[in-house]
Amino acid sequence: MKSLLVFDAAMRSKSFSLAADELCVTPGAIGQQIHKLEEWLGVTLFIRHVRQIQPTEAALSYWQKIQPALEQIADASTRLKHSRGMAVLLSMPPSFAAKWFTRRMANLLTRHPGIELHLNASSVIVDFEREAVDLAIRYFNGRDTRLDATLMFNDEVRVFCTLEYAEARLLNTPDALAGASLLVTSVQPYWTQWLSRFSRLDAGTVAGIPRIHFDQALMAIEAAKQGHGVVLASPHLTEDEVSGQALIEPFAGCLHLDNGYYIVQHNKIALSPAAMLVKQWLIEEAGEKVPDNPGSSLHRATSC
Amino acid sequence: MKSLLVFDAAMRSKSFSLAADELCVTPGAIGQQIHKLEEWLGVTLFIRHVRQIQPTEAALSYWQKIQPALEQIADASTRLKHSRGMAVLLSMPPSFAAKWFTRRMANLLTRHPGIELHLNASSVIVDFEREAVDLAIRYFNGRDTRLDATLMFNDEVRVFCTLEYAEARLLNTPDALAGASLLVTSVQPYWTQWLSRFSRLDAGTVAGIPRIHFDQALMAIEAAKQGHGVVLASPHLTEDEVSGQALIEPFAGCLHLDNGYYIVQHNKIALSPAAMLVKQWLIEEAGEKVPDNPGSSLHRATSC
DNA sequence: AGCCATGAAATAGATAATCTATATCATGAC
DNA sequence: GTCATGATATAGATTATCTATTTCATGGCT
């Protein structure tokens, strides 16, 4: 097989010496490799003149067949080596992508300009053995034996609504939620627990509060912005809204959850260097503290 | 490059042990080669489970690209090895092919049944460096520095015509040829020399004898059979006609020539084993004595 | 005519690649 | 509990590949 590369070089350069230069070996090595290939094939490939070689008809026709194949192999290898080197495939839930990642992505690309990021926003759990995904951000309890899971942050949920909605519904205490609409997401269906913890409402009253259900946090947050109710959501997903005062936290109660956002990868597939950079960056960005909302005019109970 | 063959086998069999069996090495060798390829590419190709391997997405896509290329190389190599092994390309002048070789060809194929003979009947001188020809029979003086030339037989020319023609023209002595038509071939244009040697005709009379010219001996011989004249031809080309009494030799005079029929090959391209067999057979067949014609009723002068 | 550079072949020996042998591990079948 | 299986890791043996050197024939230059 090595002799095929030698043969290719010799055909292209029409000289054992030039082929030797190209392959960084001595002309003697080239001569020996060609001789070995001729013996293996049982065919003379080059007519040797003094200081000169000339390919035979057999060599020309053989080369026509194998040269594209060798080029295909070299090309496929190069592409795999290189594209793999800088491409990173990152999967994450759509809400997390839209609300947390997108606002930080420019920072990632500034800090690591050569990285070719492929982003997959999907709620479907990644199967690393079937999909060409390097890393994923997954919202779960961190326990899966097939994966290496690195915690970005534990989750917690807080209450958000517009200032107008809070004023109109007189949301001065959690008990006032009895007269509000509750916006619920599939991912964080914890209103009952929150009210049980932070209000004095009995279970019957809690069960009677109207609810609107959403399968994506993103949409529930949008509904809250439209004044349709109060949403129980992760503060990581409402940063933009809170800092722009589109949403406020009417109460200070935050409910800590068992789940969290984890960076996950297959525990038996090595990360490429570029993927390692992205992972490190994610860890660093996750370590930034979620800020309290300094602009809120409503009183709140003791913080978490 | 070796590791690509190993990779191919591992992908096809989905097992290092089975790949080892296929390639006649130990599973350890397979494991090392795959590990080496993974390091070279910078990509994990197989997920190792206990007693099991599983190709990654990268491996599948890489294999899709290189596997046809490896197959193309193997196929081209196998074809070159095998077809070359039993195929023999033999070139010879058309007249020689039709008149000497064809009647012996069955014997060649009987003695060497596996040989795949490719016959090229052409008057054009073979250029071994441009054409995929193994051997050629060439009519020349045997001297060409680029070729190995092996003499089959020296040439000589004799006079042939039909019995009817000889009787009608009263061809009892060579002098009687003054009243005949001479059939001349490009290859053996020696009537003047023959008559000068074997007749008492003066040069003026010789020049006045009508001639018909042919560019192929084959056609001159056919014309003689049709009673159009007497042909000066190689006895090697008239064996069928003489033995079947379609032509007779009216005189015994044979003119030895410098040229001969030679088996030629390129002096720097090795013959395949099959080509060597054909060459040997040609030499043996050429060594068979050309028989005198026992059926001729005409007296002849002293033999050659 | 003589000398030198060039590009090939041949060969001995050095170096690198590849393989085997062995030990170890985890799993599944019996 | 034992054994077979199929993988990994590693040391050392074997083979492939390469370098260094010598030789050869040719062509250019002086």
pLDDT tens, residue by residue, A10-63? 999 999 999 999 999 999 999 999 999 998 888 889 988 888 899 988 899 999
pLDDT at A298 over 80: no
**Single-letter code of the amino acid located at B68:** P
Confidence band (pLDDT; 50, 70, 90) for A83? low
Kindly give the residue spans of alpha helices, DSSP state H, lying in B42-92. 57-86
Say how far apart CA B152 and CA B193 lie, in whole Å: 24
**Nearest-CB residue to B47 (from A41, A69, A268):** A268
Say how far apart CA B234 and CA B256 lie, in whole Å: 10
- Closest CA to the C1' of D5: that residue is B51
**What is the spatial distance, in angstroms and rounded to an integer, between the CA atom of A60 and the C1' atom of C6?**
26
**What is the spatial distance, in angstroms and rounded to an integer, between the CA atom of B29 and the C1' atom of C21?**
12
Q: Which nucleotide is closest, CA of B15 to its C1'?
A: D6
Which one of A142-151, A186-195, B141-150 scores highest in mean pLDDT? Answer: A186-195
ipTM computed for the complex:
0.61
CB contacts, 8 Å: A120 with chain B: none
Q: Which tokens belong to B207?
A: 């020049």
Question: pLDDT: is B75 or A83 the higher one?
Answer: B75
Which one of A264-273, B160-169, B210-219 scores highest in mean pLDDT? Answer: B160-169
Q: Which tokens belong to B109?
A: 């194929």
User: Does residue B36 belong to the interface with chain A, where contact is any CB pair within 8 Å?
Assistant: no
CB contact under 8 A, B73 and A43: no
Which bases of strand D have any atom within 7 Å of the beta carbon of a protein residue? 5-11, 16-21, 24-26
| Residue A2 Cβ < 7 Å to strand D | yes
Nearest to A11 by CA among A59, A74, A65: A59
User: Does residue A81 belong to the interface with chain B, where contact is any CB pair within 8 Å?
Assistant: yes
**What's the gap in Å between the CA of B24 and the closest CA on chain A?**
17
pLDDT of amino acid A301: 39
**What is the spatial distance, in angstroms and rounded to an integer, between the CA atom of B50 and the C1' atom of C30?**
20
The dihedral through the CA atoms of A185, A189, A192, A198 has a sign that is negative
CB contact under 8 A, A47 and B85: no
Calculate the CA B289 to chain-centre distance. 22
- Among B39, B43, B70, pick the best mutation site for testing chain A contact (most A Cβ within 10 A): B43
**What's the gap in Å between the CA of A126 and the closest CA on chain B?**
13
pLDDT of amino acid B73: 94
Say how far apart CA B6 and CA B22 lie, in whole Å: 10
Say how far apart CA A274 and CA A281 lie, in whole Å: 11
Closest chain A residue to B74, measured at CA: A66
User: Does residue B42 belong to the interface with chain A, where contact is any CB pair within 8 Å?
Assistant: yes
**What is the spatial distance, in angstroms and rounded to an integer, between the CA atom of B50 and the C1' atom of D4?**
14
Within chain A, strands assigned E span 46-49, 52-55, 87-92, 116-121, 135-140, 147-160, 182-185, 211-214, 230-233, 255-266
Q: Which residue has the tokens 């080369």?
A: A63
pLDDT at A293 over 50: no
The mean per-residue pLDDT over the stretch B262-271 comes to 83
The dihedral through the CA atoms of B32, B38, B42, B47 has a sign that is negative
**What is the spatial distance, in angstroms and rounded to an integer, between the CA atom of A284 and the C1' atom of C24?**
40
Map out the domains of chain A with their CATH numbers. Answer: 2-84 (1.10.10.10), 86-154+260-287 (3.40.190.10), 156-256 (3.40.190.10)
User: Does residue B57 belong to the interface with chain A, where contact is any CB pair within 8 Å?
Assistant: yes
User: Does residue B87 belong to the interface with chain A, where contact is any CB pair within 8 Å?
Assistant: no
Confidence band (pLDDT; 50, 70, 90) for A231? very high
CB contacts, 8 Å: B65 with chain A: 72-73, 75-76
**What is the spatial distance, in angstroms and rounded to an integer, between the CA atom of A29 and the C1' atom of D21?**
14
pLDDT of amino acid A85: 64
Chain A residues 3 to 42 with C-beta below 7 Å from nucleic strand C? 15-18, 27-28, 31-32, 34-35
pLDDT of amino acid A240: 87
Which bases of strand C have any atom within 7 Å of the beta carbon of a protein residue? 6-12, 17-23, 25-27
Question: pLDDT: is B289 or B67 the higher one?
Answer: B67
Q: Which tokens belong to B158?
A: 């004799």
Q: Tell me the pLDDT tens digit for each residue of B18-34.
A: 999 999 999 999 999 99
pLDDT of amino acid A294: 39
User: Does residue A68 belong to the interface with chain B, where contact is any CB pair within 8 Å?
Assistant: yes
Q: Tell me the pLDDT tens digit for each residue of A148-201.
A: 888 898 888 999 999 999 999 888 889 999 888 898 888 788 898 899 999 898
CB contact under 8 A, A73 and B4: yes
Closest chain A residue to B38, measured at CA: A81
pLDDT at A131 over 80: no
What is the DSSP-derived secondary structure letter of residue B237?
Answer: G
**Single-letter code of the amino acid located at A254:** C
pLDDT of amino acid A130: 67
- Among A11, A23, A72, A88, pick the best mutation site for testing chain B contact (most B Cβ within 10 A): A72
For chain A, the average pLDDT equals 85
pLDDT of amino acid B295: 39
CB contacts, 8 Å: B62 with chain A: 76-77, 80
pLDDT of amino acid A67: 94
The mean per-residue pLDDT over the stretch B137-151 comes to 83
pLDDT of amino acid B304: 45
Pairing relationship of beta strands B255-266 and B135-140 according to DSSP bridges: antiparallel
Question: pLDDT: is A214 or A83 the higher one?
Answer: A214
Say how far apart CA B146 and CA B255 lie, in whole Å: 29
SS (H, E, C) A3-21: HHHHHHHHHHHCCHHHHHH
User: Does residue B39 belong to the interface with chain A, where contact is any CB pair within 8 Å?
Assistant: no
User: Does residue A41 belong to the interface with chain B, where contact is any CB pair within 8 Å?
Assistant: yes
The mean per-residue pLDDT over the stretch A203-226 comes to 87
Contacts with A286 (C-beta within 8 Å, 6 or more apart), sequence order: A152, A153, A261
pLDDT of amino acid B297: 38
Question: pLDDT: is A68 or A125 the higher one?
Answer: A68
Confidence band (pLDDT; 50, 70, 90) for A5? very high
**Nearest-CB residue to A4 (from B73, B75, B129):** B73
The mean per-residue pLDDT over the stretch B124-140 comes to 81
The mean per-residue pLDDT over the stretch B275-279 comes to 90
CB contacts, 8 Å: A84 with chain B: 41-43, 58
pLDDT of amino acid A203: 86
Contacts with A32 (C-beta within 8 Å, 6 or more apart), sequence order: none
CB contact under 8 A, B84 and A48: no
pLDDT at B293 over 60: no
The mean per-residue pLDDT over the stretch B187-215 comes to 87
**Single-letter code of the amino acid located at B255:** L
- Among A2, A57, A276, pick the best mutation site for testing chain B contact (most B Cβ within 10 A): A57
What percent of chain A shows pLDDT beyond 90?
A: 30
pLDDT at B291 over 50: no
Pairing relationship of beta strands A182-185 and A230-233 according to DSSP bridges: parallel
Q: Which residue has the tokens 């008809």?
A: A57
pLDDT at A206 over 70: yes
